[in-house]
Amino acid sequence: MATQRHGIVPGDESSVHDEPHVEGRRVTVRVVRARVEERGDDPERVADQLDLDIASVYEALAYYHNNLEEMRTVERRHEDAVAAAKRRTDISPPDGE
């Protein structure tokens, strides 16, 4: 695990997809929360994998839960972007073939 200054950059100040992220890193709050709460990864493992200190992982989780409305907006925006990318890259034959 890295030892570093930690903090969260809010989405409206972020240069990382306009999402809240760990200060000094390009790791978003959404990614940290997904690894811990959706995948069930241990916070220490996430810290090791993302080269964060453990405090940054817990700070990202706290930020997520203290800013649910903002994070739901971020998640919807991400889901919309993923869906749009899939539509642009969907390869299917023209009708009638």
Looking at the domain assignment, is residue 97 inside a domain? no
- Is the pTM higher than 0.85? The answer reads no
List phi, psi (to 5°) of 18. Answer: 55, 30
Confidence of residue 78 (pLDDT cuts 50, 70, 90): confident
More confident residue, 52 or 86: 52
Looking at the domain assignment, is residue 1 inside a domain? no
* Tokens 């200054």 found at: 5
More confident residue, 12 or 6: 12
What pLDDT sits at residue 84?
A: 86
How many domains is the chain built from?
Answer: 1
What rounded mean pLDDT belongs to the chain? 86
Q: Model confidence over 47-73: pLDDT tens digits?
A: 999 999 999 999 999 999 999 999 999
Looking at the domain assignment, is residue 61 inside a domain? yes
